[in-house]
């Protein structure tokens, strides 16, 4: 399916640039209540820029694993698809309402324990720098990098050819 991509929209136990830390299970009630189909897929958190839909949103032991499909009939989604494939944009960012959190005074961190997830956006600069698109239909980045690395080992740049005498 063209336009399908996967990645992590949030990672558990890692502080974002605003000192928020999402805890395991924070999305469970919201996902049970809404399901992936009611969470919007936006460009840069702009509600006037829906660019596709979520096929699946699940918590695993690492974080919030997502699989989405860009609607390539939409011009902005085609632009975003091209940017993701070229690795110019790959950030993911969550839009939510906090239902339960606790502040840690010594560290300044806010532990987010229960969230109402409204939307997940593809963004240029995510608040959680490690929340990224990992694969996109037509270009699995990790696989592409492995192939390039292997090719360099197998086929190193050859020295200039010398004429045979």
Task: Tell me the three state secondary structure of residue 151.
Answer: helix
Range 49-54, long-range pairs (CB < 8 A, 24+ positions): 49/76, 50/74, 51/76, 51/77, 51/80, 51/122, 52/3, 52/77, 54/120
Whether the Cβ atoms of residue 17 and residue 5 lie closer than 8 Å to each other: no
Q: Of 45, 49, 113, 134, which is the active-site residue?
A: 45
> Is 93 noted as a catalytic residue in this protein?
yes
Catalytic residue among 10, 30, 81, 119: 119
Regarding beta strands 133-136 and 91-104, do their DSSP bridges make them parallel or antiparallel, or are they unpaired? unpaired
Catalytic residue status for 119: yes
Query: Is there a catalytic annotation at residue 45?
Result: yes
Give me the active site residues, please. 45, 93, 119
């Amino acid at each position: 399916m063209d336009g399908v991509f996967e990645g992590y929209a949030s990672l558990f136990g890692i502080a974002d640039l605003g000192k928020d830390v999402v805890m395991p299970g924070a999305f469970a009630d919201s996902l049970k209540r809404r399901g992936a189909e009611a969470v919007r897929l936006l460009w840069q958190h702009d509600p006037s820029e829906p660019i596709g839909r979520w096929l699946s949103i699940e918590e695993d032991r690492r974080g919030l694993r997502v699989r989405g499909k860009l609607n390539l009939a939409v011009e902005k989604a085609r632009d975003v698809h091209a940017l993701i494939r070229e690795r110019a944009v790959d950030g993911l960012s969550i839009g939510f309402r906090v239902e339960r959190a606790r502040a840690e005074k010594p560290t300044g961190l806010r532990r987010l324990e229960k969230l109402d997830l409204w939307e997940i956006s593809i963004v240029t600069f995510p608040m959680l720098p490690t929340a990224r698109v990992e694969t996109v239909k037509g270009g699995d980045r990790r696989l592409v990098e492995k192939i390039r690395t292997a090719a360099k080992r197998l086929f190193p740049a050859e020295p200039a050819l010398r004429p045979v005498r």
